[in-house]
Amino acid sequence: MTPTRAALAVAATALAPALLLSGPAFAAGSAPSPGPAAVSPAVVVLDRPVEDMSDDDVRVALARILADPDSGRRVIKEVNALLDDNDPAEMRAWLESGYSLAQAEDDRVAVTRILADPDSGKRVKAEINALLDNNDPAEIRQWLETGYRLAQAEDDRVAIVSMLNRPDLSDAMRAAIQDAIDGTPEEMRYFLEYGQYEVDA
């Protein structure tokens, strides 16, 4: 790692908590919700237009993207190459157009992996197929940020409701299922993965 990149990484890591807490999700009073497969938004929103940034501001923006644990492989690879080259003009051009292209590719990889996951439900798969048919990067990004959680919640609710048809269902399990159906998407996901096995324990 070059000295410049090392210094930027340290600075970005130190700033990460403040940057995350100043984001729109925190400001709105709602904690970010990791999806069932830990898919999170990976776009670092720039606080001002690239043309208004100094060269140091551009490097810090790249360091923030690099430090974001949700940045995808192509984004990380391209940021590393930019920091190695240390060419401010290339960095600016990438922030203006290359970032969105790299993010779009990483997003397509993310939805393809969800589609290939045998645990993905029918509504999730149907929505991903429609997204891939439309091939609109903005729609895919929006779906990863909000639509995935909602589609997964619908599939989880169907799976939980179907558990009511099990023979010899205990009263405790029936009550736990009813509670899960009335719960948040995260509570339903937890119930399917862990909670159902904790009933009658």
Per-residue model confidence (pLDDT) at position 8: 44
- State the average pLDDT over residues 149-169: 94
Per-residue model confidence (pLDDT) at position 18: 38
Q: Which residues, including other chains, have CB under 8 Å from residue 60's CB and lie 6 or more apart?
A: 8, 11, 12
pLDDT, tens digit, for every residue of 40-79?
445 566 778 899 999 999 999 999 999 998 899 999 999 9
Per-residue model confidence (pLDDT) at position 12: 42
- Contact call for residues 58 and 51 (beta carbons, < 8 A): no
Tokens of 169: 């269902």
- Answering whether pTM is above 0.75, one says no
Nearest to 35 by CA among 131, 146, 139, 112: 146
Does pLDDT of 3 surpass 60? no
Per-residue model confidence (pLDDT) at position 44: 60
pLDDT, tens digit, for every residue of 98-109?
999 999 999 999
pLDDT, tens digit, for every residue of 119-138?
899 999 999 999 999 999 99
